[in-house]
Structure 1
Amino acid sequence: MKRTPTGTWLPSWVPQSTTNISALLLFLLHGELSGGYDGSMLNGLNILPSYTDYFQLTPATTGLNTASIFIGSILGPLFAGVAADRLGRRPAIFWGTLITLMGVVLQTAAQNIAMFVLARVMLGFGAQISGVAAGVYLSETFPNRWRAWGVGLLNNFYYVGALIAAGITLGTGEWQSTWAWRAPSLFQGIFSLLCICILPFVPESPRWLVHRGLYEEARTVVAQTNSDGNLANPIAIAVYKEILDTIEFEKKEGRSMSPLEIVRTPVARRRVLVGMSAGPFSCIAGNIIASYYLGDELDTAGVTETRDQLKANVVLNVWCLLCALTGTHLAANWGRKPTAMLSQTLLIACLFVIGGLSKIYADDPEGASQHLIYGDVAVMFLFQGFYSLAWTPLLYLYPPEVMNYSIRANGLAFSAFGLSALALLLVFVMPIGIANIGWRMYMINGAWDIAVLILIAVFWVETKGKTLEEIDAIFEGHKHSSVPDVELVRKGEAMVDVKLVEGEMRHEQLRRG
């Protein structure tokens, strides 16, 4: 371990192995561990009589208890981007995680709906602060060749947390006390504690350090995360020079870190609209129903026993995790855009099939065959898996790739805001919609998913195999550095004149004073 300057109050002791650093970075996936845990836990709690009876829930208060986390999720992004830019990526993760932990404690101790809702608002607020900062941090810190996996796993871990929660609620579901739902809530805090313990052992974002003028510190981090600490490695030199040149170009252009920068120029607006679309598109895809109201969804298919629904919750999360990992592989090797289009096409087909089968069951519940029920449940499970193929890894992977440094944190926060605003509406409305129009909800959802598929096909760009700086060429016509593309250097298809680049960087350093 080597002490590495971070330019912040939060110190860092970093291993001198790129592989070990990348492994430690994976522990910062706590935000989606907690988010997945929360969604699955609420799925389980909404099935448990000990929870619904304790709060005397109606369809409206069930929606309020569940959706209140998105009130905090709407407020959090208003501060998340600014916090990540001003405080540093790691300190922003720390403060967001601490707020989340406080929300967990309050939720566990809740005595009434008001206390439960307040706790969930805090949970959502803290999770968005740390989630936005983590998404930006991981995209800026992971070496390019591992970025799809490193950042894609941020949201894939949603299902790891969900699986843990499903198992815990299945185990506590038969307890004859309020600890049947309080215990699962308390366990949610473990992920936040783990993150706080790991933060001192990972470096600060090299791009944030360069923007702050901490050039040597940034170069050290680039070497640590790309070449086992070797400052003279050609790949580390190429990565650092791209970062240095690009951020210097943005400064000369007068690009600020203000939230208004995301709408200042046509290029910025295009980058934000393309990048932030992943949030709303994933939200309206249709998974809200199974993510928070699996019990209601299974009721429409004829699976009504509490124990059977809890078991289905466990199986569903195992299946979704496997699909999310498959989707990350596709995004890394096939590309972000084709993976999204494949997933969206499969989702549309599933929604119309689910709607049709649910209508048949609703027309004659007593005469419905077991084959119909099992078929409906099977397609529901397929739907969640197909959703996980693209939207789970791409939700945090795609936005920071598309946005350049000056708008990255605020742009990702804007994306999170759009997602949370829609989620607040949909999570509250879905149980009411299912109760009133049943199978028609699936048909409506399938129709708007067709529009989303068209938008992806027309407007999305491909970012596979490029560093964050090289993606500038897609939007601005050229990248802002003269060094060869990093992947070409890695593959031996291009060479970096290390002495020449070192001389250029020394000259630039003297010029800056």
Structure 2
Amino acid sequence: MDWSQSLRMSLTTALVVSVCIADSVTIAYDGSVMGSVNVMSSYSAYFSLDTATIAVNSTAVYLGAILIAPIAGMIVDKRGRKEAIAVSCVLNIIGAAISGAAQNIAMFIAGRMIIGLGMGLAQTAASAYVSETTAPKVRPLALGLYFSCWAIGGFLATGVCYGTQQMDPSDWAWRIPCLFQMFAPICVLFILPFLPESPRWLIYNDRADEGLHVLARVNGTDVEHPSVQLQFQEIMDTLNYEKTEGQSLGFRTIIKNAPNRKRLYLCLSVAPLTMLTGSNIITYYYGTMLSQAGITSSKTQMEINLVLSAWQFVIACAGSVLAEGLGRRVLCLSSLGLCTIMFYAVGGMTAAYGTSSDTSGVYGTVAFIFLFMGAYSFGLTPLTNMYPPEVMSYNIRATGMAMFTLLAKACGVFVTMVFPYMFEAIGWKTYMVNASWNILFFIGVYFVWVETKGKTLEEIDELFDGVKHSDVPDLVHLDDKSAAVVVQEV
């Protein structure tokens, strides 16, 4: 591949990845902005907040995502990945405008629920889109960057809130951060016209010639290249098999047979792994955590969160780069094991120094929070939207990702509604409880997860069905003369 072909592949891939990054930034910005405005006096005073209303305000986005999840897969399959992403952007912009202009708590919650509708649709569409519209050798990195750039959203939210906090007690201290949530979706709307549709969606909808040209574009070469021809024939054969075997799009196909049920289980397993491991406690309630650790200044809390966001981004990118080499199982198990150890340490340090004036102990607690988020960011962050779309076959990918989104947001509701009361009732013991159920997650991954590294999406199907639905060789064998001959014959 010459430099011009590499440039074409890099540019197309960069544009595709930019869409998922913007979606990730939007989701992360929302979580972090709520964590930041929750410590602003103007925000609390304007809505006369208590523990219950703080939880409801944070939960509203998850409720919106849950509402749209049952039909998100149908929209993404029917209208295409790109159009669904565009609709999600419009919903996010409308929701941000309403919440930023809220005159009462009902209006604020309504705006956040509309944002949730957009996020639920976007996560279903964008994950399917990126997995299907990137070359196999860059797919793990692209999907890993999806949520690795979560830290950028957190950094932006904390940075904006840190700047507007100087306006406290003016209402604009919290309104500006809410309105700024429109920024990433607006960027996506400008990028989308330059992007191709998913080649698999095009081929499934009898637009094979367009799909072939998109495959060439994302691989940075021409349609006659052996790797493009192999992928094209592999996709054609697999999708034709799904059609002829009566495996229609939708939920019915998922529960129809054992391989699909296993795919769904593995896909859904990522939701509690990523949402209930402990990171969301820090995202939404880092103010409460730092206060319990002895750091009560809101300015200091935001400064710590800014550094934490930058730290997460660097570590998550490292995990994304190493995902293909290490494999999904090793990445997950190493991250999950370290998270468990570090969360026990956070609980122990909070118990020992949370009410003391021991400066070393207090900052030791903060250090363990950083180590926990580093461990989480290394593996679980990249895997959030890497593993679920990989294990799903085309005909159930959109529906499966919608169900994944629904479960993930339901776990988010649990975090935002339950943990405030746990903090009030049992304090530092909350970390011990959370770390203990992480051990169960570790056991589940070790015994059940299937490794997907080094395979195209269609080759992954063989791990579940026991047989490959195409006669072409695996892409990894393309350098062999025999494989090249087969491709040329195709």
TM-score, normalization by structure 2: 0.96
Cα distance in 2 for partners of 1:239, 1:57 equals 55
Match of 2:266?
274
Closer/same/farther in 2, CA of residues 452 and 491 from structure 1, 3 Å limit: farther
What amino acid does structure 2 have at the position aligned with 1:94?
A
Is it true that 1:488 corresponds to 2:477 in the alignment?
yes
C-alpha displacement of 1:41: 1.0
Is it true that 1:157 corresponds to 2:149 in the alignment?
yes
Cα distance in 2 for partners of 1:338, 1:156 equals 18
Match of 1:7?
none
SS at match of 2:415: helix
What amino acid does structure 2 have at the position aligned with 1:387?
Y
Contact 1:44 1:313 in 2 (8 A): no
Is it true that 1:215 corresponds to 2:208 in the alignment?
yes
Summarize deviations over 1:47-81 as a string: whole Å, max 9, x none: 11111111111011111111111101211211211
Is it true that 1:319 corresponds to 2:314 in the alignment?
no
Match of 2:441?
452
C-alpha displacement of 1:185: 1.2
What is the correspondence of 1:42-441 to structure 2 with a 5 Å cutoff?
A: 42-176=34-168, 177-228=170-221, 230-362=222-354, 365=355, 367-441=356-430
Count the aligned residue pairs. Answer: 483
SS at match of 1:471: helix
Summarize deviations over 1:5-43 as a string: whole Å, max 9, x none: xxxxxxxxxx99222111111220211111111111111
Closer/same/farther in 2, CA of residues 241 and 442 from structure 1, 3 Å limit: same
Which ranges in structure 1 are unaligned for 5 or more consecutive residues?
A: 1-14, 502-513
What amino acid does structure 2 have at the position aligned with 1:17?
R
Contact 1:103 1:122 in 2 (8 A): yes
Cα distance in 2 for partners of 1:348, 1:400 equals 26
Summarize deviations over 1:314-372 as a string: whole Å, max 9, x none: 0110011111111112212211110000000001101111111111235xx2x441111
SS at match of 1:167: helix
What amino acid does structure 2 have at the position aligned with 1:144?
P
Moved more, 189-198 or 176-185: 176-185
Contact 2:10 2:220 in 1 (8 A): no
Summarize deviations over 1:80-138 as a string: whole Å, max 9, x none: 11111000110111111111111011011011111111111110111110121000010
Cα distance in 2 for partners of 1:492, 1:358 equals 62
Moved more, 454-463 or 74-83: 74-83
SS at match of 1:483: coil
Cα distance in 2 for partners of 1:421, 1:384 equals 22
Cα distance in 1 for partners of 2:152, 2:48 equals 30
Closer/same/farther in 2, CA of residues 52 and 202 from structure 1, 3 Å limit: same
Q: Percent identity?
A: 37
C-alpha displacement of 1:233: 0.2
Contact 1:483 1:496 in 2 (8 A): no
Match of 2:13?
22
C-alpha displacement of 1:490: 5.7
Match of 1:6?
none
Cα distance in 2 for partners of 1:80, 1:323 equals 31
Closer/same/farther in 2, CA of residues 310 and 255 from structure 1, 3 Å limit: same
What amino acid does structure 2 have at the position aligned with 1:260?
R
Aligned with 2:467 (options 454, 458, 478): 478
Cα distance in 2 for partners of 1:137, 1:126 equals 16
SS at match of 1:466: coil
Cα distance in 2 for partners of 1:116, 1:106 equals 7
Match of 1:506?
none
What amino acid does structure 2 have at the position aligned with 1:40?
S
C-alpha displacement of 1:492: 7.5
Closer/same/farther in 2, CA of residues 490 and 372 from structure 1, 3 Å limit: farther
Match of 1:505?
none
Cα distance in 2 for partners of 1:261, 1:402 equals 15
Summarize deviations over 1:407-446 as a string: whole Å, max 9, x none: 1110111111111111112111111211111011111101
Cα distance in 2 for partners of 1:167, 1:333 equals 34
Match of 1:507?
none
Cα distance in 1 for partners of 2:24, 2:482 equals 38
C-alpha displacement of 1:258: 2.1
Contact 1:484 1:496 in 2 (8 A): no
Cα distance in 1 for partners of 2:487, 2:446 equals 41
TM-score, normalization by structure 1: 0.92
C-alpha displacement of 1:161: 1.2
C-alpha displacement of 1:227: 3.5
Cα distance in 2 for partners of 1:144, 1:262 equals 24
Cα distance in 2 for partners of 1:400, 1:472 equals 12
Contact 1:234 1:498 in 2 (8 A): yes
Cα distance in 1 for partners of 2:123, 2:361 equals 40
CA RMSD of aligned residues (A): 1.5
Cα distance in 2 for partners of 1:45, 1:397 equals 31
Closer/same/farther in 2, CA of residues 383 and 499 from structure 1, 3 Å limit: closer
